[in-house]
Amino acid sequence: MPQELFIAERIEMRGTAQFNPNMDGHWMQKKRHYSDLFDGISLDTTNRWNSYVTGATGATIAISEVQGGSVLLTTGTVDDDSLALAGAIILTADYEAVVEWNLTITDVSGTGLFVGFSDAKNEANGSLAIHYPGDVLTTVATNAVGFVIDADHATSSIMVASVKADVATTPVDTGVDWADGETRRLRVELDVDGNAIFYIDGAVVARIASAVTDSTLLCATVQALTRANDGANTVRVRRYDAWQNEV
């Protein structure tokens, strides 16, 4: 019987094993795993999530009961009105933090979106941790890293960007476009030196070296705002997962 077993991809239970209890003993995860399927009747803003719509006209963040569960972010009716959903500030690169969001954008041409890690749970109304107001890369957070999809940006591609100790790194164009109503999985992986690897739907699309300060505490966050005077638009978050090494 091996003392260690290495699996390259996945474990699948077949035959009668899928219908019967199939794990014995005291299983313990070495990596911390935080997750939410948004399958409750209301968003847990007491113990799990910080929800910010302050200053945004008509903006809402609430559970939306669709197949499998979701939380629906509805941006404000006024141009550049913003909102944010963020977890606790407990994740760091030096513990190899990873975050993945599964989400849908209803109207890409009228929305700005930042998805990833930030050292702040929210920015002032009209700002995201990293975005492109007037087609200018703007880093509002001191340390942040993630995906930027912004209708104010000249390119329609999904961008990846970061800011380290208040200095923006060079953003990368993934060359992947996001169509209206499309659902995608966005993942950011950090290593102990603060380097970042970005995945879209399971495929590596970009890397940024020295993306954030490795010891800075971060939160997982989705931040959105209205663009192009387009009125309220929606971002539907279907699943959230984050991991990091045990302290």
Q: What is the DSSP code string of 119-178?
A: SSS---TT--SEE-GGG--EE-SSSEEEEEEETTSSS-EEEEEEEETTEE---EEEEEE-
Give residue 178's domain range.
34-245
Poorest-confidence range of 10-14, 163-167, 204-208? 10-14
pLDDT value of residue 102: 98
Average model confidence (pLDDT) across the chain: 96
Whole-number pLDDT of residue 152? 96
pLDDT at 246 over 90: yes
Q: Is residue 76 part of a domain?
A: yes
DSSP state of 67: T
CA distance 117 to 105: 19
Question: What pLDDT digit, counting tens, does each position of 111-169 carry?
Answer: 999 999 999 999 999 999 999 999 999 999 999 999 999 999 998 799 999 999 999 99
pLDDT, tens digit, 9 for 90 and up, residues 51-66: 999 899 999 999 999 9
Q: Is residue 191 assigned to a domain?
A: yes
Does any domain span residue 123?
yes
Q: What is the pTM of this model?
A: 0.95
Residue in 90, 192, 207 with CA at minimum distance from that of residue 145? 207
Answer whether 212's CB lies under 8 Å from 218's CB.
yes
Mean pLDDT of the region 205-234: 97
Query: What is residue 202's predicted lDDT score, i.e. its pLDDT?
Result: 97
Q: Amino acid identity, residue 141? A: A
Residue 146 lies inside a defined structural domain of this protein:
yes
Q: How confident is the model over 97-101, as a mean pLDDT? A: 98
Give 35 or 27, the one with higher predicted confidence: 35
1 pLDDT above the threshold of 80:
no
Which residues contact residue 153 at a Cβ distance below 8 angstroms, ignoring those fewer than 6 apart?
132, 135, 159
Number of domains in the chain: 1
Strands 234-245 and 71-74: antiparallel
In angstroms, the Cα distances linking 38 to 5, 67, 72, 234 are: 33, 11, 10, 16
* Structural domain includes residue 3: no
Rounded CA gap, 46 and 247, in Å?
A: 24
- Predicted local distance difference test score (pLDDT) of residue 156: 79
CATH number for the domain that contains residue 138: 2.60.120.200
Domain annotation covers residue 133: yes
Identify whether 151 is part of a domain.
yes
Confidence (pLDDT) at 30:
86
**Residue 9 is assigned to a structural domain of this protein:** no
Query: For the residues 31-37, what does the mean pLDDT come to?
Result: 96
